Structure 1
Amino acid sequence: MRTTHRPLITAALALSLFMAALEMTVVSTAMPTVVSELGGLQSYAWVFTAYMLSSTITVPIYGKLSDLYGRKPILLFGIGLFIASSFASGLSTSMNMLIAFRTVQGLGAGAMQTVSLTIIGDLYTLEERAKVQGAFSGVWGLAGLVGPLTGGLIVKYLSWHWVFFINVPVGLATLGLLLGFFHEQVQRKPQKLDFAGAALLSSGVVALLFGVQGLGRNLLGLPVALVLLVAFVFVERKAAEPIIPMSIFKLPAITISSVAGALFSAAMFGATTYVPLYVQGVLGGSPTLAGGMITPMIVGWPVASMVAGRLLLRTGFRPLIIGGLGLSVIGTGLMALLLKPNASLLVPQLAMGLFGVGLGFTATALLIAVQTSVGWELRGVATASHMFFRTIGGVLGVGLMGGVLVSQLMKDPRVPIAAANELLGPEHGRGLPPEMLRTLSGALGTGLSINFWLICAAAVAAFAAGLFFPKVKRDSGTTVSVTDAAAPH
């Protein structure tokens, strides 16, 4: 039997996550320019939420499929879909077309995020994993350094379409490594996939997103979501092979990790979506400068994650989780208090840096806690469940903030939405009538200010949830939460 080439596969998994990280920073940099060219500021949030929504819905499904049929085929499918939809996104000629292809891109990203992290859990023991997961986050730092600069240069000298094309060569290289060097043994048994659970979960999440975005206007989605999600829980409790086994939530580490992960992801995705918009739309910065505001967060994250990986076996999960979430509260608090129309650019940089360091400590500890709570046969679904809650937190957070922003911009019926699109263009709305420009700038600033307070509130709630994370006893100098089952190969 051929064995997996662990160093090369680790590199392939790093490339897979690098695509996701680079996509986030590059697209955030380019979006104000995309809006100025294609129009559709009212759909601004959907470029992000469509991507996150489709990946959220599929994360637990991919996790279950990887437990049943192996990690490799699911990951190859996800990367292939991501490459094709990235190329299609770059060819978009309208905002609706871009949103549609970003939805498909999210379908691929759901497999890439979940299965990549699950494979890391398979390939390394607990002691190795604590270090590897921390070092693995270095790819986010690299993407954070090159992403905003690359995005800004592409927008300035080429076209925003090229920010999507850059995924293609990286994706093809990743596929080649996985096809040639990743081998696994999977004992396939006849299984019946829980289609009813998958359908209820998908429709429930979609209804919830529409309900959140319609707050103050149309609340129909919320009761519909409640009914569908309650039905999902009932079906999962009876299913022979549930998409998300309800039994795993009997473990406090998984339950608290899910809640805290959802809340800090709402804050994180909100910050990466709306801080660049604030810098470009309110402070009048360039696309490169706007994207650069994310860099301190995405550099601070891997640095803290690598430190967390080394501290984890000595301190346990709880101190890192509580300390990291505390730093996140400080960073988002600075953002909410000090980001004003005449604010110094040092404010978002400092706030995002503290936020990133806090998330680096927290995310690493939460993920490893979840993976060490179950054996191999449930590791895929446990990892997927954790990623599901993190992603759904981001989806709902950005959706809610998008609804807030649109409601503020449309409050004055005399101001057309096309004028808001022009505000984000390279001339920053200089061609608009002075009165309209003042009204529009004020509405944009007010909407974003409300969003920054929502980001801070999500961070505070995550910190409160982290306080309930269980204390884990030490055993021979090693911290474990339950049983750390070895990989099957």
Structure 2
Amino acid sequence: MTHETPVRTAAAPGLLSPAYLWTTIGSITLIFLGAFESLAVTTIMPTISRELDGEALYSLAFSGTLAAGVVGMVVAGGWADRRGPSRPLVAAMTVFVVGLVLSGTATDMFVFIGGRLLQGLGSGAIIVALYVVVARIYPAPLHPRIFGAFAAAWVLPSLIGPPVAGVVADTISWHWVFLGVGVLVLIAAAAIVPALRQLRSMPAAPGEPGSRWAVVWAIVVAVAVVSIGLGGESGASWSWVIVAVAFVVVVLAVRPLLPRGTLVARPGLPATVLLRGAVAAAFFSTEVYLPYLLNEVYDLPSAVSGLILTVGALSWASGSALQSRFGARMSHSRTVRIGATIVFVGIVVQLLTALFLLSPFVAAAGWLLAGGGMGLVFPRISTLVLSHSTERDQGFNSAAMTIADSTASATSIAFAGLLLAAFGAVSGGGFVAAFALAAVLGLAAVPIAFRVRD
């Protein structure tokens, strides 16, 4: 009688295996710090604008940063395709830190805004460069997991960012919010050095030459995005004209920055990129005004109404973790279809809440759904974009995905703001109109999701 010794198969390497450990730590830390800085600024901006006498430039501190990010995405994407992601990532981190130092030492609002523009330029480039790092370093089966980790890296800042920033601003100075993040970015950069060395040792692939006009188009998009944001907040009678013209400019200028067929949802990569923009526009235009609804109509304190964002963030993280566990057992296309549908249902709940003045607990339940849907959709979209890319166009496609996200979100938020101003916030009619717009965008995302291909 013979006994066969069972053969043990080596476990597949994970994100924290020795080959990927420091790259994983550095990358997730950079995402975490970017999220922390973004949420912290939202908390302390009223203090900054009062101290620097810059109330008139309040919105520019946000819209300008978002717009500069579009330029950073395009520059980093083209650079990564031509030379690999190591150089653009180092340059992006440097620009981001310089922006933090500039804002952190500012004694004038214009200097502070200048620092914010550099932060946007650097953060936009960091995101795109990190996507290319993922494509070059990690094997495809790990992509859903690392992108799920990126999504989860936004959760902790949503919990601790606002209170920590508030405590630092109140007890020390708001300057140290920026300076402290700058120091931490340098530490994260040190953690990712091994990955940069590995990338530099890899043979260079001939990248796409790219369009010489790409950066010009990105600047045009950025200016139009700022115009949409400023027009949406002005509340003047001519705001609709400014936003409409700026919207047309965005659509025309963004076309060369996206894969061909994106705006008509051509199946495959174009539909995937468009889906990113559609779900982002629907979700974030709801998220911006949801605490406002609870505060203005339900008369809940800001601290309480803001908790609904924490609900969405935790749900997003849970959805991200769930999709990473699915792995190859559930196809990317099926996952994004389910996720997009859940996001739409969650936004419809907010519309019904505003329309019929339902309980805030109903709104929280709906936002729990919407956040979970985003957790399913976002990591798989990132994975799909890389799966449709080669080393020649990983940077361009990653940039296109984040550009679709940023421009669609900014545009939808501005239009929602115009609807809120037109129908009024006190009566609740403005929120109904704003959430109706978000629901239409969410509904449009569902058929787009069915044009996504693995």
Q: TM-score, normalised by structure 1?
A: 0.75
Alignment partner, residue 465 of structure 1 = 448
Q: Closer, same or farther in 2 for the Cα pair 1:349/1:324, shift >3 Å?
A: same
Q: Which string of whole-angstrom CA distances, capped at 9 and with x for unpartnered residues, describes residues 87-114 of structure 1?
A: 3334556766554432221101111111
**Aligned equivalents of 2:282, 2:269: Cα separation in 1:** 20
- 8 Å contact kept, 1:78–1:107: yes
Structure 1: runs of 5 or more not aligned: 237-242, 410-440, 471-480, 482-489
1: CA distance, partners of 2:393 / 2:267: 16
Give the equivalent residue in structure 2 for 1:351. Answer: 366
Distance of 1:292 and 1:316 partners within structure 2: 33
- 2-structure distance, mates of 1:81, 1:168: 11
Pick which of 123-132 and 92-101 moved more: 92-101
Q: Tell me how far apart the structure 2 counterparts of residues 66 and 204 of structure 1 sit (CA, whole Å).
A: 21
Conservation of the 8 A alpha-carbon contact between 1:321 and 1:362: yes
Aligned residue in 2 for 1:217: 238
Note the 1:170-185 alignment, pairs <5 A.
170-179=184-193, 181-183=195-197, 184=199, 185=202
* Selected match of 1:266 from 272, 275, 281: 281
Higher mean displacement: 210-219 or 355-364: 210-219
Taking a change above 3 Å as real, the CA distance of residues 16 and 228 of structure 1, as seen in their structure-2 partners, is closer
Q: Tell me if 1:197 matches 2:197.
A: no
Task: Kindly state the Cα deviation for residue 187 of structure 1 after the two structures are TM-superposed.
Answer: 2.6
Instruction: Say whether residues 1:335 and 2:355 are aligned partners.
Output: no
**CA separation of 1:117/1:192 partners in 2, compared to 1, >3 Å: closer, same or farther?**
closer
From 40, 53, 67, give the equivalent of 1:53. 67
Q: Cα deviation per residue 1:342-383 (whole Å; 9 max; x = unaligned)?
A: 876545543332221110101112111111112222222212
Alpha-carbon spacing, 1:71–1:305, altered in 2? closer, same or farther (3 Å): same
Residue 473 of structure 1 aligns with which residue? Answer: none
Q: Deviations over 1:291-325 (max 9, x none)?
A: 43321222211221121122241121222112111
User: What is the number of equivalent residue pairs in this alignment?
Assistant: 428
How far apart, in 1, do the equivalents of 2:288 and 2:104 lie? Answer: 19
1:59-70 equivalence runs, <5 A: 59-70=73-84
Aligned to 1:76: 90
CA contact (8 A) 1:332 1:459 kept: yes
Contact 1:153 1:288 in 2 (8 A): no
Give the CA deviation at 1:128: 2.2
Query: CA separation in 2, counterparts of 1:91 and 1:350?
Result: 42
Contact 1:30 1:287 in 2 (8 A): no
Q: Which amino acid counterpart does residue 344 of structure 2 have in structure 1?
A: V
Counterpart mapping for 1:113-262 below 5 A: 113-154=127-168, 157-158=171-172, 160-179=174-193, 181-183=195-197, 184=199, 185-187=202-204, 194-207=211-224, 210=227, 214=231, 217=238, 219=241, 222=244, 226=248, 230=252, 246=260, 252-262=267-277
Q: CA deviation at 1:129?
A: 1.9
**CA-to-aligned-CA distance 1:185-229 (integer Å, 9 cap, x gap):** 253879866332321342145236525764761536755774786
Q: Distance in 2 between matches of 1:34 and 1:294?
A: 23
Corresponding residue for residue 313 of structure 2: 298
1:200 aligned partner, one-letter code: W
Per-residue displacement from partner, 1:421-441 (whole Å, max 9, x unpaired)? xxxxxxxxxxxxxxxxxxxx7
Query: Distance between the aligned counterparts of 1:124 and 1:9, measured in 2?
Result: 9
For residue 426 of structure 2, the aligned residue among 442, 465, 480 is 442
| Aligned 8 A contact 2:64 2:226 in 1 | no
Q: Tell me: CA distance 1:458–1:151, structure 2 relative to 1, closer, same or farther (3 Å).
A: farther
Instruction: Measure, in 2, the Cα distance between the counterparts of 1:304 and 1:245.
Output: 28
SS in 2 for 1:268: helix
> Structure 2 regions of 5+ residues with no counterpart?
1-17
Shift of 1:143: 2.4
1:83·1:168 contact (CA, 8 Å) conserved in 2? Answer: yes
CA distance in 2, matches of 1:394, 1:362: 16
1:125 shift after superposition:
1.6
Match of 1:383 in 2: 398
When residues 397 and 36 of structure 1 are mapped into structure 2, their CA distance, relative to the original with a 3 A threshold, is farther
Q: How far did 1:393 drift?
A: 1.2
The AA in structure 1 aligned to 2:398 is T
For 1:464, the aligned partner's letter is P
The match for 1:455 is 438
For the Cα contact (< 8 Å) 1:149–1:292, is it kept in 2?
no
Structure 2 counterpart of 1:310, from 325, 328, 339: 325
Shift of 1:141: 2.5
Counterpart of 1:368? 383
Instruction: Work out the percentage of aligned pairs sharing the same amino acid.
Output: 20
User: Within 2, Cα distance between the matches of 1:376 and 1:190?
Assistant: 7
Secondary structure of the structure 1 residue equivalent to 2:213: helix
Deviates more, 1:35-44 or 1:257-266: 35-44
RMSD of aligned C-alpha atoms?
3.7
Task: Render the CA deviation track for 1:398-418: whole Å, top value 9, x for unaligned.
Answer: 333344556678xxxxxxxxx
Tell which has more relative contact order, 1 or 2 (C-alpha 8 A, sep 6+). Answer: 1
SS in 2 for 1:293: helix
Q: Distance in 2 between matches of 1:288 and 1:90?
A: 26
Please state whether the residue corresponding to 2:154 is helix, strand or coil.
helix
Q: Retained in 1: the 8 A contact 2:259–2:269?
A: no
- Check if 1:15 corresponds to 2:36: no
- 1:231-279 Cα deviation digits (max 9, x unpaired): 775xx5xxxxxx6564899972211122221122123333443334455
The 1:109/1:135 distance shift into structure 2, 3 A limit, reads closer
Name the structure 2 match of 1:396.
411
Q: Residues 280, 317 of structure 1: CA spacing in aligned structure 2 closer, same or farther, 3 A cutoff?
A: same
- Contact 2:281 2:438 (8 Å CA) reproduced: yes
1:279-298 aligned at under 5 Å gives the runs 288-298=303-313
- The answer on whether the counterparts of 2:69 and 2:122 sit within 8 Å (CA) in structure 1 is yes
